[in-house]
Amino acid sequence: MQVLVTPRLKLEPLVTAHADALYPILVDPRQFEFLDYGAPDSLEALREGYRKLESRRSPDGRELWLNWALLPRDGDAGAIGFVQATVLEDRRAWVAYQVATARWGRGLATEATGSMVEHLIARHGVERCMATVDRRNERSWRVLEGLGFVRAHALQAAAMKVQAGDWLYWR
User: What is residue 168's three-state secondary structure?
Assistant: strand
Residues 17-64: pLDDT tens digits? 999 999 999 999 888 878 878 889 999 999 999 999 999 999 999 999
Q: What is the pLDDT of residue 140?
A: 94
- Give 84's strand partners: 67, 96
- At 14, the pLDDT band (50, 70, 90 cuts) reads very high
Residue-level pLDDT at 15: 96
Closest among 97, 100, 92 to 112, alpha carbons compared: 97
Residue 95 CB coordination number (10 Å): 25
- Range 35-40, long-range pairs (CB < 8 A, 24+ positions): 35/134, 36/163
Q: What is the CATH number of domain 4-129?
A: 3.40.630.30
Report residue 120's pLDDT band, with 50, 70 and 90 as the boundaries.
very high
Q: What does the pLDDT look like over 89-114, one tens digit per residue? A: 999 999 999 999 999 999 999 999 99
Whole-structure pTM value: 0.92
DSSP-derived secondary structure letter, 101 = G
The bridge status of strand 166-170 relative to strand 128-134 is antiparallel
Query: E strands along 26-138, which residues?
Result: 64-72, 81-87, 92-99, 128-134
- For 130-165, the pLDDT digits (tens) are 999 999 999 999 999 999 999 999 999 999 999 989
**Is the separation of the CB atoms in 38 and 32 below 8 Å?**
yes
